[in-house]
Structure 1
Amino acid sequence: MGGGAQTPALTALLCLGLCRVPGDGAQAGTLPKPSIWADPGPLVAIGSPVTLWCQGSLQAEVYHMYTESGRHPWEARPQQDSRHKASFSVITSMSSHDTGQYCCVYWTLLGHSQPSDPLTLVVTGMFPAPSLSAQPSPVVASGENVSLSCGSDEAGTAHLLKEGGAGPLHSLEARYSHGAGLWQATFLLGPVDSTQRGIYRCYRADTNKPHVWSLPSDPLQLEVSGGPEPSSPSHPQPGSPTAPAPEDHSLENLIRIGVAGLVLLGIGLLLADAWYSHKRTRAAGQQ
């Protein structure tokens, strides 16, 4: 991987909410933008490795990865078995210096693509874990409200995540209060439904370092009772609308009737054959 390789048309990159690559004339950015993702994910524990992927076109000759800090781009060639994507193992030990936004572009014989949407990398484990609690209870009825409070000894920004969710839950009603020596961010959820049940964790970040997060809080299991649930089998009484229908055994009965019919047909054919044989024998004897 040629870390210092550059082309005249890609001498800088600005990632200010939207990545922008300096153009090279009429062909600049005319190709569709690639997609970018992190493996195993964009939240990376301190000291852990992460691989960045860029997926573009089958005609891609080379891929470049950029950061918002303006560092030189990394270069990668397409995978041998799949020319439409490339991997960048540029971070072997995650630190606060590796956080921020990343973008990628690809080059073909026609020029370079539009830049990908920015990918934000966050380092976790830099501070002690906050606490997470639910009020009035982690068990709430469907349609009611519940608040999740993320508390810490230090001031900062709170991030609430749901296991399996797409990203941090940004609540417009999150409010901060400083009382009893605890800095607390409260996220209001509700009216809740069954889709909001699950495992939640929260993180704390310094206000001036938004991509440097603490250890995660202990998991909080939110249960939502009531509301629509998957139907479960009941115990119907005979004659009720949900009782097993007679058709449950109709196939077996049809098979039995069919077998009996074949047996009777066979017996009938044997009797008919015997009757005709006997008739022919008597006719021959009278001659």
Structure 2
Amino acid sequence: MRVQGAWGPSGQAISDGLFLLGFCVSLRIWAAVGESSPALISPSLSAWPSPVVPLGQTVTLRCHFHSPFKIFRLFKRDGTSLPELQGHHVNTFTLGPVTREHAGSYTCSGFYWSVSVWSTHSDPLQIVVTGVFTKPSISAHPGPLVQEGKNVTIRCHSPLSLDKFILHQEDSTGHFQRRGERFTGGNASADFFIGSVISGSAGSYRCYGSLSRSPYEWSAPSDPVDVVITGLSKKPSLSAQGGPVVRSGENVTLLCSSESAFDQFHLLREGENLGRPLTGGRGPRGALQAEFPLGPGTPAHSGVYSCLGSFTRSPYSWSDPSDPLLLSVTGEEPPPGPAFLLLFSR
């Protein structure tokens, strides 16, 4: 500090003193909000309902900060100019209906009125636009029903020459979270080795395809595949009402029964989940029982069936399968009776 200049005729020291006074006031303001400098103030950016947005839908970006910011700016980091990013806003920005041009990485900053300074930028938030390409297919190998501790691999496949696949797993809140990604060099499929199946890896999976040159533009999501752990409870029993040998045209009903208090039962044919879980009721002997009506029997109903039980609170943890039941639909439909023949002989 130049003390001598404080009394000089130039008045320079007076302006220096005003600068120092303003600097000290600014320091006190920054200290009051718990920051050492406005340059260190960083808001955070979030997306609702999700940063993964289907084509044509809308997404709301919100800039969060515990300070008296009144205006905010949103930036798209690839330099693309979007009309909704122009000018200053309150802390919410609605994008949409989204197009491929909305895909990318975004940041935001806020204006600090007390010292007329813009904050540093938030950490980047990636907005992914889905539906740019047709959906891939998904499958689990050796199958979606896996004994506890056994390995499973999920395969994503697309007829397009996509060079990246992304696998998402549904979390406990029902949202799909990214599980991993694979670069394939343009091959049509990618394998995701899940490994030994435990409760955390059981669940519903979807996959997306993309191109590495446009990482925020994805395909539509695949149909889901459910990876289920079996063998966590005692097996139920399976029987056919009226017996396992049925004449063609007769109604077929399979009964799954258990002494365990399962609140859902699942029917499999040749190891494939038929996808019709039923709630059990009490059978004639007090056991829990679910009836699976298959309708009039046809040769297509013949095969090996089994059933499993589960609890709705753990939808991807099932019992051991029942002993297999061989159902056989044989013969032709019974010939028409005399009254039927008489009617059409007239």
TM over 0.5, shorter chain: yes
Query: Match for residue 254 of structure 1?
Result: none
**Kindly tell me: are residues 189 and 113 of structure 1, through their superposed partners in 2, closer, same or farther at Cα, counting changes over 3 Å?**
closer
1:96 aligns with 2:199: yes
Alpha-carbon shift at residue 176 of structure 1 (Å): 2.1
Q: For residues 44-59 of structure 1, what are the structure 2 equivalents within 5 Å? A: 44-56=146-158, 58-59=160-161
Q: For residues 50-89 of structure 1, what are the structure 2 equivalents within 5 Å? A: 50-56=152-158, 58-69=160-171, 70-78=176-184, 83-89=187-193
TM-score normalised by the chain length of structure 1: 0.65
Listed one character per residue, the Cα deviations across residues 29-54 of structure 1 (whole Å, up to 9, x for unaligned) are 21111111111111111111111111
In structure 1, C-alpha distance between the alignment counterparts of 2:249 and 2:207, rounded to whole Å: 43
Secondary structure in structure 2 of the residue aligned to 1:128:
coil
Listed one character per residue, the Cα deviations across residues 1-57 of structure 1 (whole Å, up to 9, x for unaligned) are xxxxxxx99x8669xxxxx9x899521321111111111111111111111111135
Partners of 1:143 and 1:191 within 8 A in 2: yes
Query: Which blocks of at least 5 consecutive residues in structure 1 are unaligned?
Result: 1-7, 15-19, 229-287
In structure 1, C-alpha distance between the alignment counterparts of 2:160 and 2:243, rounded to whole Å: 53
Alpha-carbon shift at residue 59 of structure 1 (Å): 3.5
In structure 1, C-alpha distance between the alignment counterparts of 2:321 and 2:253, rounded to whole Å: 18
Counterpart amino acid of residue 318 in structure 2: W
**Which of the residues 238, 243, 246 maps onto 1:140?**
246
Counterpart amino acid of residue 123 in structure 1: I
Counterpart amino acid of residue 287 in structure 2: L
1:191 aligns with 2:296: yes
1:201 aligns with 2:299: no
Structure with higher helix content = 1
Q: For residues 1-287 of structure 1, what are the structure 2 equivalents within 5 Å? A: 25-27=98-100, 28-29=129-130, 30-56=132-158, 58-69=160-171, 70-78=176-184, 83-89=187-193, 91-108=194-211, 109-110=213-214, 111-155=217-261, 156-163=263-270, 165=272, 167-168=273-274, 170=276, 176-227=281-332
User: Whose RCO is larger (CA < 8 A, sep 6+)?
Assistant: 1
Counterpart amino acid of residue 88 in structure 1: F
Counterpart amino acid of residue 48 in structure 1: K
Structure with higher strand content = 2
Runs of 4+ residues deviating >4 angstroms: 11-14, 22-25
Partners of 1:34 and 1:116 within 8 A in 2: yes
In structure 2, C-alpha distance between the alignment counterparts of 1:26 and 1:194, rounded to whole Å: 50
Identity %: 38
In structure 2, C-alpha distance between the alignment counterparts of 1:150 and 1:62, rounded to whole Å: 43
Q: Which moved more, 1:22-31 or 1:178-187?
A: 22-31
Query: Match for residue 34 of structure 2?
Result: none
Counterpart amino acid of residue 42 in structure 1: P
TM-score normalised by the chain length of structure 2: 0.55
Alpha-carbon shift at residue 199 of structure 1 (Å): 0.6
Listed one character per residue, the Cα deviations across residues 265-286 of structure 1 (whole Å, up to 9, x for unaligned) are xxxxxxxxxxxxxxxxxxxxxx
Secondary structure in structure 2 of the residue aligned to 1:195:
helix
**Kindly tell me: are residues 32 and 146 of structure 1, through their superposed partners in 2, closer, same or farther at Cα, counting changes over 3 Å?**
closer
Alpha-carbon shift at residue 114 of structure 1 (Å): 1.5
Counterpart amino acid of residue 199 in structure 1: V
Partners of 1:193 and 1:227 within 8 A in 2: no
Larger Rg: 1
In structure 2, C-alpha distance between the alignment counterparts of 1:88 and 1:169, rounded to whole Å: 24
Alpha-carbon shift at residue 73 of structure 1 (Å): 3.3
In structure 1, C-alpha distance between the alignment counterparts of 2:283 and 2:241, rounded to whole Å: 17
Partners of 2:307 and 2:321 within 8 A in 1: yes
Listed one character per residue, the Cα deviations across residues 238-259 of structure 1 (whole Å, up to 9, x for unaligned) are xxxxxxxxxxxxxxxxxxxxxx
Counterpart amino acid of residue 267 in structure 2: L
Counterpart amino acid of residue 195 in structure 2: T
In structure 2, C-alpha distance between the alignment counterparts of 1:105 and 1:125, rounded to whole Å: 31
Q: CA RMSD in A?
A: 3.0
Alignment: residue pair count: 210
**Kindly tell me: are residues 162 and 57 of structure 1, through their superposed partners in 2, closer, same or farther at Cα, counting changes over 3 Å?**
closer
**Kindly tell me: are residues 140 and 169 of structure 1, through their superposed partners in 2, closer, same or farther at Cα, counting changes over 3 Å?**
farther
